[in-house]
Structure 1
Amino acid sequence: MEVKTESSRKSYDNPLMNDILPPKRSSWLSRHHPSWALYAAAIWSLFYGVLGSYWVMGGTGFPFGENDPRGHMMGSFLANVRADTGGAAIIIAGLVGTVVAMAMKRQYKSRMIRSVLLAFAWSASAALIVLVPDIRIMQNFAYAFMLYFELFDWPVVNQLLCIAGGFLWGAVALIYQRRSREACMNCGRTEEGKGTSSITAAKWGKWVTYIAVVTALPYGLVRLIWAAGIPLGVSDPTGIETQTLTESLIVAVLGALPIGGAILTLGLIQRWGEVFPRWCLFLSGKRVPIWLAVVPATLTSAMTIFSGLKLWVDLFQGGSVNLENWGELGPGLFWLPWGISLGAATFAYYLRRRRSCRHCGRM
């Protein structure tokens, strides 16, 4: 029994060991995901094109501008958009997106056509993930741990739908880009690059993981100090010194979340991030599914990036960090590098752990 344990330990410490494991049988979903991703992006775009038409004709529920009273306070880039002009822009983007998604079912000989299609897909993905959402996504995520959902309204739901559309368009762009360079559309591997990604990711992934861990700590540490009643780096200490027990607990939870996230981030380069440790009871010794780490880390990375971007924009628009208020604004400025490094660390973890492709057989 000890020999088996030692053998498995060596296999997980070696990033190349994942490559020689037999690939699992591919599911219908994975075999056809290049097609369904295109159809899903087309349907999503058409749906929002129809919504744009409804809003232009005076329909209720336009989620930006005058119908979003919290937009300015939460740093929304679309806080000044009107329903008529915004709805018209959504109609155009939705219809163009539908046409582009269907057009990407073909591989064109013209490099210019391929470049235009890819440019639209990547731009749509970036706009939907980075520009549309604001700090309310991160805010609702944090308050959900305290079962507080009063801030979850239609503008927030719309932002979640746009983030989903952004990931769809990102998947479409990635698939088409892989097809353009004659790589496997499911894994992105080519004949020239097979077998090298795991070794490379094991090297640079460790450093970006450490960066993600360090940049996650400032916000959490300052909030935990506030929860203890110490007004560190605040311009008006009254609120910290007079906070109730409930308020202290809320601040403590807000501080514990990024610190807990930093600890979990270490799992991207530790053995317990690949094999469940002993204290996991019936899961002990089993392989950690890749998606169990990649999916939440990717979503956290996306939330942190666009929230951090909003804070940097607010700073350039007139905010300032000084010796009196550094605890209020300073730690939030680490969110953008935190999100970027976490995304890179997650990608390295995925490259290091993925098996041989179920479709092309490349390692």
Structure 2
Amino acid sequence: MTLKRVNWPALAAGWALAYGLLALYWTTGGGGFPFGPGDPDPGIEKGLSILGGVRQSVAAPVIAAVALGAAVIAALLAGRASRGRAGIALETVAWTVALTLGVVVPDYRPLVAMGHVPVLLAGKPFGWPDGVSIGSQLPWPVLNQGILMAGGALFALAALTHRRARRDACGSCGRTGVSDGRDPARWGRIAVWVAAGVPVVYAATRFAWALGIPLGFSSAQLRDMAAEMPGIWWGGAALGAMGLGGSVLTLGLIRPWGERFPRWIPVLRGRRVPVALAVVPAVVVAMAVTSAGLMFGRVLYLDPDPGKLAMMGPGLLWPLWGAALAVAAAAYRIRRRGDCAHCVNAPVKTPSGQPSAACRTH
């Protein structure tokens, strides 16, 4: 799928209009308001949700106005590309909406659901513990956060589409026919190592606690918490292991096995890895870990308890993880794009006369 084949600004406008109409329904007192009193989970931790303390009667009309205003912005992006400052202003507003929806409003629960739901699906043949189900991991407030994140992605794509049109770049591949001389293989490699390193820090703390090493806690506190919540440290170690797995997969964005499936994978061995198969999960995870990291920052700012700092401290690096992963995914996509069927700009030459790594066919 390319940016040219999909009218992303129109989709963003449709999403914002639909959400705005839903917010108007909430304004009239309709049920299903997913924030404040409609979302009981923020009571678990002060500051968990940025909208955890709002009232429906006040927040719903504001959400409706913002959503409908965003729909107008997206509709303008869908029209003829605005040049100069007007175009830049539209894109700036769209990016602001994208970041707000994608990483500011959501908290850590989408990330938790992304980790728990696959485990539950794998364990379904063996049965689930009482009270545990996929539905328990995906209540309406969490599903709503997923909808918001999808809207954020649409607005980001809408802004990118408009920027390409404003710069007379190809709507499909993004090339303008002129290279800026910057090699995405170089800056992408830096981003990959940052994105792969942050989860290692998180995993190290979880493994240490599982082994009884008191990083940030006393030995007595570790024992007391284990007695109060049996299995907490081994559960944390399992999450750390998942983080390490994600770290290894991130390295695939700069390794040959990230472009062709390794020989040990049946059926797929030797075949090219679809670009979307690497980029889409990376972007989704980048959004989820960034929103979770921002939530940890809110919680610790409102309640700087030493115990919480030890538990959530590594999460303060997660916005860096998310940003680096998004940049790494972008570099991977640029590096993997081949000759474009929709323009005459590929491949281009760098100032040295060599084919640009951004346009090299893989």
- The bucket for the TM-score relative to the shorter chain is 0.7 to 0.9
Q: How many residues of Structure 1 are paired with residues of Structure 2 in the alignment?
A: 329
The partner residue of 1:135 within 86, 94, 108 is 108
Question: 2:206 corresponds to which residue?
Answer: 223
State the TM-score, normalizing by the size of structure 2: 0.83
Question: 2:140 corresponds to which residue?
Answer: 154
Q: Secondary structure, in 3 states, of the residue corresponding to 1:94?
A: helix
The answer as to whether partners of 1:183 and 1:189 remain within 8 angstroms in 2 is yes
The answer as to whether partners of 2:13 and 2:74 remain within 8 angstroms in 1 is yes
Distance 1:279 1:136 in 2: 34
The answer to whether residue 279 in structure 2 is matched with residue 308 in structure 1 is no
Question: 1:346 corresponds to which residue?
Answer: 329
The partner residue of 1:279 within 261, 264, 276 is 264
Pairing 1:61-80 to 2, within 5 Å after superposition: 61-72=32-43, 73=45, 75-80=48-53
- Alpha-carbon offset, residue 239 of structure 1: 4.4
Counterpart code for 1:105: A
- Alpha-carbon offset, residue 117 of structure 1: 2.1
The answer to whether residue 135 in structure 2 is matched with residue 164 in structure 1 is no
- Alpha-carbon offset, residue 253 of structure 1: 1.9
Pairing 1:85-164 to 2, within 5 Å after superposition: 85-107=58-80, 111-147=84-120, 149=134, 150-164=136-150
Question: 2:360 corresponds to which residue?
Answer: none
Distance 1:108 1:174 in 2: 12
- Alpha-carbon offset, residue 244 of structure 1: 8.0
Question: 2:27 corresponds to which residue?
Answer: 56
| Deviation sequence 1:211-243 (CA, Å, 0-9, x none) | 112111111122223334544433522345438
Counterpart code for 1:219: Y
The answer to whether residue 279 in structure 2 is matched with residue 294 in structure 1 is yes
Distance 1:303 1:114 in 2: 29
- Alpha-carbon offset, residue 183 of structure 1: 1.0
The answer as to whether partners of 1:232 and 1:327 remain within 8 angstroms in 2 is yes
Identity %: 36
| Deviation sequence 1:41-68 (CA, Å, 0-9, x none) | 1221111111111111111111111221
The answer as to whether partners of 1:41 and 1:98 remain within 8 angstroms in 2 is yes
Relative to 1, partners in 2 of residues 1:137 and 1:172: Cα closer, same or farther, differing over 3 Å?
A: same
Distance 2:274 2:76 in 1: 35
Distance 2:196 2:248 in 1: 7
Counterpart code for 2:147: L
Relative to 1, partners in 2 of residues 1:241 and 1:113: Cα closer, same or farther, differing over 3 Å?
A: closer
The answer as to whether partners of 1:229 and 1:243 remain within 8 angstroms in 2 is no
Q: Is there any run of 5+ residues in structure 2 with no aligned partner, and where? A: 121-132, 348-362
The answer as to whether partners of 1:225 and 1:232 remain within 8 angstroms in 2 is yes
Relative to 1, partners in 2 of residues 1:182 and 1:238: Cα closer, same or farther, differing over 3 Å?
A: same
Relative to 1, partners in 2 of residues 1:64 and 1:107: Cα closer, same or farther, differing over 3 Å?
A: same
Q: CA RMSD in A?
A: 2.4
Distance 1:30 1:340 in 2: 21
Q: Secondary structure, in 3 states, of the residue corresponding to 1:71?
A: helix
The answer as to whether partners of 1:221 and 1:255 remain within 8 angstroms in 2 is yes
The answer to whether residue 14 in structure 2 is matched with residue 43 in structure 1 is yes
Relative to 1, partners in 2 of residues 1:278 and 1:217: Cα closer, same or farther, differing over 3 Å?
A: same
| Deviation sequence 1:16-50 (CA, Å, 0-9, x none) | xxxxxxxxxxx7x76531x2x22221221111111
Distance 1:325 1:32 in 2: 47
